[in-house]
Structure 1
Amino acid sequence: MIIVRKAERKDCKRLLELIKELAVYEKAPDEVTVALEHFEESGFGEKPVWWAFVAEEINDTDKNKNILGFALYYIRYSTWKGQRMYLEDLVVTEAARGKGIGKLLFHALIAEAKEKNFSGIAWQVLNWNEPAINFYKKYNTIFDPEWINCSIPV
């Protein structure tokens, strides 16, 4: 059985494992540099800056629990649209893909965005990630070819 619930501090170690798995998939295994303590504090400290849902498999026979995926977001402010949910990562471990877990997580995000009166949900997807692009197309996603992503290290 799969349940979706809000992430808790105790989940952070597993979430970081999944983030590293995603980095390998995205051909950037050395790019994950965040420390577990910083990750935990950023999500569960006095002033959290991110929130997440986890998809957890519960084995009825021995009550084992295993997080198979997560969706992590933060609040972004648009001067044109107001508060928006920014989906930083939606990750399902490779062995569990194709079982509807991403859909469960995405629906939890949509419900959360509606509940919090956000004006929408925004995210990025790599242009070569066809499985993800095809998943998002099911939701009438608007793919924006105009904007170029920018960042600077500080």
Structure 2
Amino acid sequence: MTIRRANENDIPRLLELLEQVLQIHADIRPDIFIPGTTKYTNEELAQMIKDDTKPIYVAADENDNCLGYAFCQLREQPFSNNMVPFTSLFIDDLCVDASTRGQHIGEKLFVHVKEEAKRLGCYEVTLNVWAGNTSAEKFYEKMGLKTKEQQMEYIL
């Protein structure tokens, strides 16, 4: 298996995997997520693949089939003037195909993202996890992530 930047040939497979992630989120929060949709369109993915501030890394097997991905974004901090400036590599989405989970593909993707963050001079790697996605929470804790902040909601 190799980890590489996504290219336009990966778009159909990325869309399939995005559907898998969306279904997980829709199962947790059916009040917010629409089953059968994806977070990005073909056109948006094509633009992101060209954008060095939004790298997409894919785990590919020996036949170059995409088994998983990590959508990332370089983010400049701070959001306010009372914080020290730094760059974060934000994981917008990380997914491993349901049929290949348990083969450490997610771990390899995450390690690659950490290495890329170091190479790019980032201070940290961050991400968000939906409450109720306990398997993702356990995975990221196993990878060494700690809760930085919590967002709370009151549904009207």
TM-score range, shorter chain: 0.7 to 0.9
- TM-score, normalization: structure 1? 0.82
Go from structure 1 to structure 2 and tell me whether the alpha carbon gap of 1:70 and 1:146 turns closer, same or farther (over 3 Å shift).
closer
Number of residue-to-residue matches in the alignment: 141
Structure 2: gaps (5+ residues): 27-32
| Contact 1:41/1:48, CA 8 A, preserved across alignment | no
TM-score for both structures, normalised by structure 2:
0.81
Within 5 A, what are the aligned runs for 1:11-90?
11-27=10-26, 28=33, 29-30=35-36, 32=38, 34-44=40-50, 47-58=51-62, 64-79=63-78, 80=83, 81-90=85-94
One-letter amino acid of the structure 2 residue matched with residue 36 of structure 1? N
Percent of aligned pairs with the same residue? 26
2:77 maps to a residue whose letter is S
Among 82, 87, 94, the alignment partner of 2:98 is: 94
**2: distance between equivalents of 1:135 and 1:12?**
26
Counterpart residue identity of residue 140, structure 2: Y
Structure 1 residues 146, 92: CA separation in 2 closer, same or farther (over 3 Å shift)? closer
- What CA RMSD, in Å, does the superposition of the two structures yield over aligned residues? 1.9
**Which structure 1 residue ranges, 5 or more long, are not aligned?**
59-63, 150-154
